[in-house]
Amino acid sequence: MASAPFEFATATRVLFGPGRAREVPDLVRGLGGRKVLLVTGTNPARAEPVRAGLERLGIPSTSFRVAGEPTVDLAREGTTAAVDSGCDAVVALGGGSALDAGKAIAALAANGGDPLDYLEVIGRGQALTKPSLPFVAVPTTAGTGSEVTRNAVLGSKEAGVKASLRSPMMLPRVALVDPDLLEHAPAAVLAAGGLDALSQLIEPFLSIRAQPLTDALAREGMQRSARSLRKAVLHGPGPAEREDLALASLFGGLCLATRAGRGAWLRGAAGRMLGAAHGALCAALLGATLEVNLEALRSRAPDHPALPRFRELAVLLTGQSNARAEDGIAWVKDLVHAVRIQGLRDMGLTDAAVPGLVTKARAASSMKGNPLPLTDAELTALVERSM
């Protein structure tokens, strides 16, 4: 497959290693932070060591909790908290929702205005003109790779959609990935996040925008995910599994940072319709997405350069040098079943809603990264096989 032109923009610094979360206070001091907005997930107690460390350095903090997926209203609330408290830096410690919220707040606090001034699709789409407040991203899950990407996804209840706040100025100053933060993650969180990360590695690898940098990241990340995700979910993540899952997630985020694209067209539409968590949708759709794309390529584009990659994907996932493309898809489906991922029907999708979901997916701009555009019949089959 010929290499496409590509761009790579990510966090200024990426720090990786067990136990490194304790370095966050010193990193904030090095960035000149004098008062910090500490954005957390549903369990603020997890950020207590960071808060205490900041306090020991004489850096006060204001906590802001993100209880679910971030919304426009939540971004407004967090920005007000940062500005009113006089915060000049933001630290987000949590899952993808907390990291996205932190990114949005750091950008809005520095630029002023309302989220709708800058949001794509539902807003005015204005460009940010000032760099975000210094922002440190510390993921406590392994899935989205949000710590190294330039966008934050915000939901809007009024518009009934999710839209991105996106700018190179939103890239974190530091992404600190500490695998030990995964030690007590619930099995369901590891499963959904791990399959989200695996999707973010597979899709750029099969994308028409695939290029050498994403290929290298994807190959390494997929092998790490393949050997550790099932074990981590079913038996608990030991040190080796935590490292593999954290790196797989980081590499998936870096694949997005190259703008190679991913097949989020159907997940985005389903997420808006069902209100289901992004990682769970990734997991539910992955096997059928691979299966339908392989069938479409074989029937409509038998010389497509993505076809040999399906077999390489199977080798990487199964560890078998003679694996066929179908073996890789079967491996994915078996993994999804083993880690007890719900189908779309259990998430609330009805048969009557399938045509509307297909219409929305077809219109999504992210379809452009797919190996080839899928027909309505193929999209319908994909959804039905994911029910």
- pLDDT by residue (tens digit) across 88-116? 999 999 999 999 999 999 999 999 999 99
Asked whether 66 and 94 are in contact (CB, 8 A), the reply is yes
Stretch 62-76: mean pLDDT = 95
The Cα 241–Cα 254 span in angstroms is: 20
Q: Sorting pLDDT into bands at 50, 70 and 90, what band is 359?
A: confident
Is the entire prediction scored with pTM above 0.95?
A: no
Q: Which of 57-71, 261-275, 278-292, 309-323 shows the lowest per-residue confidence on average (mean pLDDT)? A: 261-275
- pLDDT by residue (tens digit) across 110-154? 999 999 999 988 899 999 999 999 999 999 999 989 999 999 999
pLDDT for 307 beyond 60:
yes
